[in-house]
Chain A
Amino acid sequence: MVLLQRPHILLLLIDTHQFLQCWIAFGSANEEGQQQEEFSEELLVKPLPDHKLLAHFHFQSSAPPSTSNGCHHHLFPKAISQLVQKFRVKEMELSFTQGRWNYESWGGFDPISSSNAKPPGVELWAVFDVPQHHIDASWKNLTHTLSGLFCASINFLESTATYSTPEWSFPPASGNVRYGTFPCEAVCTENLTPWLRLLPCRDKAGIALLLDRPSLYRGFYHSQRLHLTSTESSSEGIDSGIILEQTLTVVLQPNSERAIEVHASEKHVQPSWSLSSIFGKQVSGRCVLAKSSSVYLLLDWGLVAELKFPNKENGKSAANGLTSENFWSNPSFELSVNPDRIFLEESSSHSKSLSILYMFQVEKYSESEPFDIGLMWKVPVAWLCQQTPLHASRFFMGSGNERGAIAISLKSTQFTEGFMSANSKDGSCELRVDVFQVVPWYVKVYFHSLRVFVDQQPRAVSDFIEKIHVSPSKDKMSPGVMEVVLKLPCRVNTAALTIEFDKGFLRIDEYPPDANQGFDIPSAIISFPNFHASMVFLEDDSLNRSPLLSKFQEKCPVMSYTEVLLVPLTTPDFSMPYNVSTIKCTVFALYFGSLLNVLQRRVAEEERFLKAKAAKKTGRLPLLLSKLSAKLRGSGINQD
């Protein structure tokens, strides 16, 4: 494509001739068939059923193996490559999230949600390519590096009590994984800026121009993610270098102020939007360093099924409508810009309908003619996103400061009903559910108290749990980890796992400054390994060049995160440790003093001693004292 050549021409224009030699060398390397550093920017926009809009930015940079051009990079961020080299990171994912992904209305069974729906706060996992005993050290260094890089308190993940080693339930199954979350991290623009700095054009050009901070943080969900894979360290064999994938997923409410006004009359009509109305900015051309720069509009198959309905009356079927224009002049909505390409999903498990992807090339537009797509709805549409097989929620049971129980409840969704009907022919249909739960040490979980309820019946644990791996927590050392593989019958309606715990006590210096808020228990990960969320769009030769679409094609298991829980622990009265200790000491002194006095006293001995003393000449003062005491005592008796 022409695209490939363009960056170099521009680089040439920008840089001085000093750079020319380098470019020649680079170009020659390119001719030899070596890969070169690439960058691509993409944006995917998807209307959501509850009148909201999902925007998913996807930036991908890739660097060839370091052997080809040393430690110098043209596009690839140096900080990341150094980090990979130093800590020998094989794969790593870091996400900053604010808000909760609404699995019920935003879906959980598509590639976007299963890989971009993250728990609130910071989540970090990394796979290292170092010997076992070096992993923890590498992890600690990595957390500190990332903490500095992203202005976040990731360094709290350094302590062994906060991160865990998943054995097999975590997707990149390997012994070298470390996983840690920090749910109370407040994510804001200070984390976004360093993230943007990793992009070659930052947010000065290209699609990243849309990242207007106020409109981003006004959204309902905001998750910035950094995923990197490297095969660099395995120096033999095929190298692909480092692939850095930066995604930003936001859920926004298009022009909410209008939605209130039209509240009564047309509340079921989806709000119309355009990129400029939701972000307040327009794309004025692509980032010149990007290999590809495109914007996609994804219509969910559920939505397509609803939209097709008027067409079917006219006798037009979906399949032959691919080339015809009726896809963007649908009677129910209108696109402001004609798409450059239309992709239709190749096949899907549900077979009811196929998703449609509109593609817009950004490079056609310029400053004078900025790119701005808009979608105008004409008729009310209502549809449902495809949900995870089981909807998971987690909550606390019990009350008080002493003990409680964690319950994870799974409920069948509309998907399972379809799945069940499809698989009802063979009787032994099973649904595999993996549960991965990390519990901090101060919540002392009793793993023997694990109980399973299926369809509101208490059942034997061994009936449904195929595999379980437990590593109990050590006080102030390591968190408790529970990995469970559940095999549930497909017809299951509800299932629940409960496990009891005691609340532990912390030392006064171990409490955080806001101890009375309570302590967070990180999200549990519920994954369904039998199900893979993937979207395969009709094969095309130019298609495999789009990293976003190839990402969609990858089979990733369906995953969902449960809520973060807040467990209130007993807190000491921080405001008056002095008073408390003073009173305590006084009481103890009085108690022990009198107790020791009573214990030590030997009456006979004392009498003998006094007698001996009396035999001698007594002093004047003791005599006076004894007289006084006799008087005192005598008067006491006389009173009665």
Chain B
Amino acid sequence: MAETKEKSLSDEKPKPRVRPIVRLGIFLISHSFLVSVVCCTAGVLALFLLPVLAKNTYISENALMPGSASPMLSNQHVSDGNRLVKDLTNPNSKSSETGIESHKIIAQYMLDLGAEVSFHKFHPQMNQFHPLHFFSSPVSGKIQENYSCSSYGINTVGIIRAPRGDGKEAIVLVTPYNALKSGFGEALSLGIAYSVFSLLTQVTWLAKDIIWLVADSQYGEYAAVAAWLREYQSPKFSSLSTPNAEMCPDVNNLFELKGHSISGSKFSNSFRRAGTMAAALVLKVRDQNEQFEDTISIYAEASNGQMPNLDLINVVNYLAVHRQGLRVNVEKLWPLLNSSWLKSLGEIFESLAKVAKSLYPKWKFGIPATEYVEGTATLASSLYYQALGVPTGPHGAFRDYQVDAITLEISPKFSLDKVWRNDILLRGGRLIEGVIRSVNNLLEKFHQSFFLYLLTSPSKFVSVGVYMIAFALLIAPLPMVAASLYVDANSSSNYSKGDSSTPSAITDTDEHGIAIRSWRWLNSAKLVFIVHLWGAIVSLLPYFISQIPDCSPTTSFMIWVLLSILSLLTSNSVLASPLACAKATQEKEWALVKSVTISSVFIGLGLMSVINFATAEIGALLMVPMCLLARPLKLDVRAGTLRSFCRLICNLVLGHIAFPPAAFFLLKGMLDGFGNANVGDFWMWVESLWAWNSATYLFIGMVQLPCWVLCVSILFHTC
């Protein structure tokens, strides 16, 4: 590019024909400042416009036909469910300290319905950090350790075979249940599931098998479901090292009871399977409740921001709202609901829409301000949970096997009333029945509707085509600014500082010099590469730190920080001390460093947007302004104008915010208040991220942190 410029400068030389696309590129690059300001503003604005642009959900798959059949769940089934609830909450059943009695009760109830029953014993596997197992399938590499007989869980599994079905597909219904300290809510959820199950044993329309999994949640709901799924999808036929749970005396007890009371061979101690899972529903009933209405909350986020097909949420929403009269909730970021600036923003949008409508009556895109605030709060939580990459419930385990699953949490208005209990059993049961019936109607797996979406309310969504725009606008200026910086650094370094406005004065035709100069960016690239390498090392460090026994989160965090700083200093000194070197050779070196940094951030964000869009979006919000604004503080101090002063302030603020722990504490403070913030919290948060194999962890370690370090090094550049 420098060459073309030189040519254009010399008047005698004829000008080569430049293609329009190149010309456009050059134009954009030369106006990169304006372009970046416009794009970033538009990007942020587009993000805030998303609740306005959200579309109403609709059932995309015609075969689902939710609510087309009248519910068959009758009071007979409800009283069956009630019987189970009574038996389970009966104090006699809790006498056993291992909770085996209640498992026996559940199994007996299932058997009485004619279902196939089996127990699945599992050892809880704690999630552990394996540095190389990101993105690997959930099966591989789980190392079995020695477990004692004292710690195992028992999942009770009942299967109804579809009378005339071919058994190729199955629908899973999960109710987490802790036999040791079960609340009334858990028993109630079992009651709902049982009433549906007892209905399904009699119906003739079943085409898919039904699996009811009572997941033993004493070691966590997710662990139980994940263990069952692991056994279902990838059983280990060999059991060389692990002591079998069958050897434990308690478990043998479990089977003895069943042997004589049952006529058929419906009970077996071997693992039972049905076909490919079509969908899974996790059902929970919350114990304590403050609502004035029966509400049902939908949790859908699985690991790394994967979502189930939107149709599944649509079906639940449709049936709950239009058939059972339940209120449907999705998670919201509650602090956002009361923020006045959001409300005023919503009012602005509302009034704008009014103006637009008065101009042309067919433009109807405005939504009321309150709705806007709610939509934004939902959208923010949707983004947040997707970005976190940690599943919000046991349904996350299913998503790892490409099964669409959601968790339904019913929170009834008030408790312990007989009539009320029957009512919630009936309505909850009918909802589950309706969803199962819809999924049962499916001929093909869920594929019609969206997988990539953000919810702004249970019945409104933003699809990928819309929310991509905000992100694309945000990161669009990055390559332009990088190119412009590169050009700038290359051209201006030819001339003495300050003369860059009159470049035509000098004609440097030394080809060799040009060649060397055009490769100078490699120096900066080396620096960026080293910092990224350091980032990789930093993200590996927690694995070793976690091996240290008896370490409180705070000390672990401190060790981590210390080791990180140490390794940064070492790499800096050992690997050619790039910063010092840069200073010696080039004064405009920082521009090149910034240019390469911005390119690497662009690549990192682009990659991340494919893996987990929400992380990339939030990361872009933090990093793009910082990267674009970064400029040595000295230069700004020296310039002393108002503009440079503003830039200085912005740089300082952004430099603080974009530091990952600082961002975390800020967010936490905003959500929970700053009072109980603790240094160890960040460590715990990071621990949870890696335990769930969240790609966000890699993003923070290998994109955001190096980028921050590079930006800070630019800020403190001595030029």
Instruction: List A residues at the B interface (Cβ < 8 Å).
Output: 49-50, 98-100, 102, 104-105, 120-121, 183, 217-220, 222, 256, 260, 267-268, 382-384, 393, 395-401, 407, 409, 411, 414, 453, 456-458, 494, 496, 498, 514-518, 520, 563-568, 571, 594, 597, 603, 606-607, 610-611, 613-614, 625-626, 629-630, 632-640
Contact B8 A634 (CB under 8 A): yes
Is A566 within 8 A of B276, CB to CB? yes
Of all chain B residues, the one with the shortest Cβ separation from A403 is B137
- Inter-chain contact A630/B8, CB cutoff 8 Å: yes
Asked if A514 and B444 sit within 8 Å, CB to CB, the answer is yes
Closest to A454 in B: B237
Query: Which chain A residue lies CB-closest to B265?
Result: A104
**Chain B nearest CB, measured from A191 CB (Å):** 15
A99 to B168, CA, bound (A): 11
In the complex, chain B residues whose CB is within 8 Å of the CB of A220: 163-164
Query: Given the complex of chains A and B, what is the CA–CA distance between A309 and B20 in angstroms?
Result: 99
Nearest A residue (CB) for B237: A453
Chain B residues engaging chain A, CB cutoff 8 angstroms: 4-5, 8, 13-19, 21, 23, 26-27, 29-31, 112, 114, 137-139, 161, 163-169, 202, 204, 233-235, 237-240, 263-266, 270, 273, 275-276, 400-402, 443-445, 447, 484, 488, 491-492, 500-501, 503
* B273, closest chain A residue (CB): A395
* Given pairs A217-B164, A517-B444, A607-B13, 8 additional interface contacts (CB within 8 A): A400-B137, A456-B239, A458-B237, A515-B444, A518-B168, A594-B21, A611-B13, A636-B31
Nearest Cβ distance between residue B84 and chain A, in whole angstroms?
14
How many Å lie between the Cα of A222 and that of B15 in the bound state?
A: 85
Q: How far is the CA of A567 from the CA of B166 in the complex (A)?
A: 14
Q: What is the chain B residue whose CB lies nearest that of A385? A: B265
| B residues less than 8 Å from A183 (CB atoms) | 166
A267 in contact with B112 (CB, 8 Å): yes
Q: Which of B169, B234, B443 has the most CB of A within 10 A?
A: B234
| A633 and B26 within 8 A (CB) | yes
Question: Chain A nearest CB: distance from B628 CB in Å?
Answer: 16
Selected from A267, A395, A496, A607, the residue in CB contact (under 8 A) with B16 is A607
Q: Is the CB of B8 within 8 A of A121?
A: no
CB pair A407–B235 under 8 Å, yes or no, is: yes
* Shortest CB distance B395–A (Å): 15
Q: Which residues of A contact B23 (CB under 8 A)?
A: 629, 632-633
Question: Which residues on B sit within 8 Å (CB–CB) of A635?
Answer: 30
State the CA gap A603–B161 with chains docked (Å).
Answer: 74
Q: Is B166 touching A396 in the complex (CB atoms < 8 A)?
A: no
Asked if A456 and B237 sit within 8 Å, CB to CB, the answer is yes
Are A613 and B237 in contact, with the CB atoms below 8 A? no
Chain A, Cβ-Cβ closest to B275:
A566
**Docked complex Cα distance between A634 and B166 (Å):** 75
Partner of A458, one of B167, B238, B266: B238
> In whole angstroms, how far apart are the Cα atoms of A382 and B264 in the complex?
7
Known contacts A382-B263, A384-B265; A566/B447 CB under 8 A: no
CA distance in complex: A513, B500 (Å): 66
Cα A636 to Cα B4 in complex, Å, equals 13
Contacts of A606 in B (CB 8 A): 16
Residues on A with C-beta less than 8 A from B276 are: 396, 518, 565-568
B14–A517 touching, CB < 8 Å = no
Query: Cβ of B263 and Cβ of A268 under 8 Å apart?
Result: yes
Please determine whether A399 and B240 come into contact, CB atoms closer than 8 angstroms.
no
Which residues of the partner chain A approach B169 to less than 8 Å between Cβ atoms?
566
| Bound CA span A168–B5, Å | 80
CB distance from A575 to the nearest CB of B (A): 8
Do residues B27 and A632 form an inter-chain contact, with CB atoms below 8 A? yes
Q: A104-B265, A267-B112, A629-B23 in contact; A397/B270 too (CB < 8 A)? A: no
| Chain A residue at minimal CB-CB distance from B487 | A640
Contact of A516 among B21, B29, B204, B445 (CB under 8 A): B445
| A397 touching B233, Cβ below 8 Å | yes
Question: Given the known A-B contacts A565-B168, A566-B169, A610-B16, are A411 and B163 also in contact in the complex, defined by CB atoms under 8 Å?
Answer: no
Task: Identify the closest chain B residue to A517 (Cβ).
Answer: B444
- Residue in contact with B165 in the complex, picked from A99, A384, A396, CB distance below 8 Å: A99
User: Smallest distance from the beta carbon of A524 to chain B beta carbons, Å?
Assistant: 14
Select from chain B the residue with minimum beta-carbon distance to A257. B202
Min CB distance A296 to B, Å, is 24
Residue of B nearest to A221 (CB): B164
Most chain A C-beta atoms within 10 Å of own C-beta, residue among B18, B137, B168, B238: B168
Closest CB pairs A-B (n = 10): A382-B263, A636-B30, A516-B444, A453-B237, A566-B168, A610-B14, A120-B166, A614-B14, A399-B401, A517-B444
Q: List 7 A-B contacts (CB under 8 A).
A: A260-B202, A383-B263, A396-B233, A399-B138, A458-B237, A611-B14, A637-B491
Closest-by-CB residue of B relative to A411 is B270
Q: Is the CB of B237 within 8 A of A498?
A: yes
- B240 surroundings in chain A (CB, below 8 A): 457
| Nearest B residue to A594, CB-CB | B21
Distance to closest chain B CB from A597 (angstroms): 8
Q: Which chain A positions have C-beta within 8 A of B233? A: 396-399
A626 CA / B11 CA spacing, docked (Å): 11
Least CB separation from A263: chain B residue: B112
Minimal beta-carbon separation of B535 from chain A (angstroms): 29
Alpha-carbon gap, A17 to B31, bound state (A): 108
Residues of A within 8 A of B270 (CB): 411, 494
- Pairwise interchain contact B264-A105, C-beta atoms closer than 8 A: yes
CA distance A383 to B23 in the complex (A): 88
C-alpha gap A218/B167 in the complex (Å) = 17
Contact of B114 with A98 in the complex, beta carbons under 8 Å: no
Within the complex, which residue of B4, B13, B137 is in contact with A399, where a contact is CB–CB below 8 Å?
A: B137
A517 to B276, CA, bound (A): 10
Once the chains are docked, how many angstroms separate the CA of A613 from the CA of B14? 9
B18 contact set on A, CB distance < 8 A: 629, 633
A564/B167 in contact, CB under 8 A: yes
State A100–B206 Cα separation when bound (angstroms).
13
Q: Tell me how far the C-beta of A289 lies from the nearest C-beta in chain B, rounded to whole angstroms.
A: 33
CB distance from A415 to the nearest CB of B (A): 12
Contacts of A634 in B (CB 8 A): 8
The interface residues of chain A lying within 8 Å CB-to-CB of B265 are: 104-105, 384, 414
Determine whether the beta carbon of A100 is less than 8 Å from that of B167: yes
Q: Which residues of B contact A571 (CB under 8 A)?
A: 447
Q: Which of A409, A517, A597 has the most CB of B within 10 A?
A: A517
Contacts of A401 in B (CB 8 A): 402
**B310 CB to nearest A CB, Å:** 15
Our pick among A267, A563, A633 for the contact of B5 (Cβ within 8 Å) is A633
Which A residue's beta carbon lies closest to that of B3? A603
> Which residues in B have their C-beta under 8 angstroms from that of A625?
17
CA distance A102 to B159 in the complex (A): 13
B residues within 8 A CB of A614? 14
Query: Which chain B residues lie closer than 8 Å to A613 at the CB level?
Result: 14
| A613 CB, min distance to chain B CBs, angstroms | 7
Closest to A380 in B: B263
How far is it, in angstroms, between the C-alpha of A640 and the C-alpha of B484 when the chains are bound? Answer: 9
Q: A639 is contacted by which of B31, B165, B444, B492 (Cβ under 8 Å)?
A: B31
Contact A457 B273 (CB under 8 A): no
| A566 / chain B contacts, CB cutoff of 8 Å | 168-169, 275-276
Give bound CA distance, A411 to B269, whole Å: 11
Q: Flag if B443 contacts A514 (CB, 8 Å).
A: yes
Chain A residues, CB < 8 A from B19: 597
Chain B residue contacts of A260, Cβ below 8 A: 202
Contacts of A49 in B (CB 8 A): 263-264
CA distance A611 to B7 in the complex (A): 13
List chain B residues, Cβ under 8 A from A121: 166
- Contact B161 A102, beta carbon cutoff 8 Å: yes
> What chain B residues lie within 8 Å of A640 (beta carbons)?
30, 484, 488, 492, 500
- Bound Cα distance from A563 to B137, whole angstroms: 26
Of B13, B164, B234, B445, most buried by chain A (CB within 10 Å of CB) is B164
CA of A619 to CA of B145, assembled, Å: 84
Q: Cα distance A496–B264 when bound, in Å?
A: 25
Q: Quick check: B114 and A398 within 8 Å, CB to CB?
A: no
Contacts A121-B166, A613-B14; A399 near B400 (Cβ below 8 A)? yes
Contact call B16/A564, Cβ cutoff below 8 A? no
